[in-house]
Amino acid sequence: MDADAIVDELIGLEQREPDLGLDLFRSLVSARQYRGLYRLLHRFVPPGATVLDWGCGNGHFSYVLDRLGYRAHGYSFGDVPLVRHLSDRYGFTRGRATDPTTLPYRNEQFDAVVSVGVLEHVRETGGEELASLQEIRRILKPGGHFLCYHLPNRFSYIEAVAAVIPRVHHHAYRFTAGDVRRWCDRVRLELLMLERYGALPRNPWQVVPVGRRSRRLADTWDLLDRVMGVVMAPVVQNYRFVARKVANRPAGEREPRSEARLPTGAH
């Protein structure tokens, strides 16, 4: 099924059942911020693979995985109201906030693990990025992929502006490309792709009362975002990256260093 059609389904669900917490799907402009994630999934994870939505939040990406035919699992500290709209194939596990790092899954269980705006919050729950990534590596099959999306850029102008406006959300922890490369080196994940994206804010569109379903408006915002992303590459909002679990090597043999580059103005 086409990912854009699934976005339309989620927009419809938000309208019919506002208690699902799908606020970002009130507007097509804000909903389309996940298009890049869907492209990463299609590029690196074959249909039918077993995928963990780590820190699944309101469950919208679990819904996408399930509708696209993946064997989807979700993990969260809280309930996920959207679960009732998922198929019987979906597996949800509720974690314990008292143990923020350990994942209740066996070694090498998943073909892929996806973090959608989660990795930057682990310290807020008493965890630590390297510890979480080491645990994710443990549950990945050899050759399995970790997809990280919406990792906030330390130099984001959007974050800088939000930090000085009262009651506007901003991230306590933000990162650089060097942080990502260091993490992957430390936990023996091969970094395949690392990009910056998000020149224009999208979340505010969820509260704009007009043009919420306008495809012309969404197309225009997408185009502006791509163009401005080239001009403003160092200060765009987020990073996304994909890393692969490589097999353990014999003692004394070093892992190959990542060859991933950060393209100028990458989207």
Residue 84 domain-assigned (yes or no) = yes
Residue 252 domain-assigned (yes or no) = no
Residue 216 domain-assigned (yes or no) = yes
Residue 163 domain-assigned (yes or no) = yes
**pLDDT tens series, the chain, 267 aa:** 789 999 999 999 999 999 999 999 999 999 999 999 999 999 999 999 999 999 999 999 999 999 999 999 999 999 898 999 999 999 999 998 888 899 999 999 999 999 999 999 999 999 999 999 999 999 999 999 999 999 999 999 999 999 999 888 899 999 999 999 999 999 999 999 999 999 999 999 999 988 999 999 999 999 999 999 999 999 999 999 999 999 765 444 444 444 455 543 443
Residue 235 domain-assigned (yes or no) = yes
Can you tell me the distance from the alpha carbon of 128 to that of 52, in angstroms, rounded to the nearest whole number?
A: 19
Which pLDDT score, from 0 to 100, does residue 173 have?
96
Which pLDDT score, from 0 to 100, does residue 249 have?
55
Number of domains in the chain: 1
Q: What would the DSSP string read from start to end of 26-86?
A: SSHHHHGGGHHHHHHHHHHS-TT-EEEEET-TTSHHHHHHHHTT-EEEEEESS--GGGGGS
Which CATH number do you get for residue 13?
3.40.50.150
Residues 6+ apart with CB under 8 A from 54: 75, 103, 113, 114, 115, 118, 136
Residue 265 domain-assigned (yes or no) = no
The residue assigned the tokens 């910056």 is 196
Tokens encoding 34: 């996940």
CB 262 within 8 A of CB 194: yes
**147 lies in which domain range?**
3-245
Can you tell me the distance from the alpha carbon of 38 to that of 249, in angstroms, rounded to the nearest whole number?
A: 32
Which pLDDT score, from 0 to 100, does residue 65 have?
97
Which pLDDT score, from 0 to 100, does residue 98 have?
86
Which pLDDT score, from 0 to 100, does residue 206 have?
94
Residue 142 domain-assigned (yes or no) = yes
Residue 225 domain-assigned (yes or no) = yes
Q: Residue 96 corresponds to which amino acid?
A: R
Can you tell me the distance from the alpha carbon of 120 to that of 5, in angstroms, rounded to the nearest whole number?
A: 29
User: Exposed, middle or buried: residue 84 (CB in 10 Å: 0-12, 13-18, 19+)?
Assistant: exposed
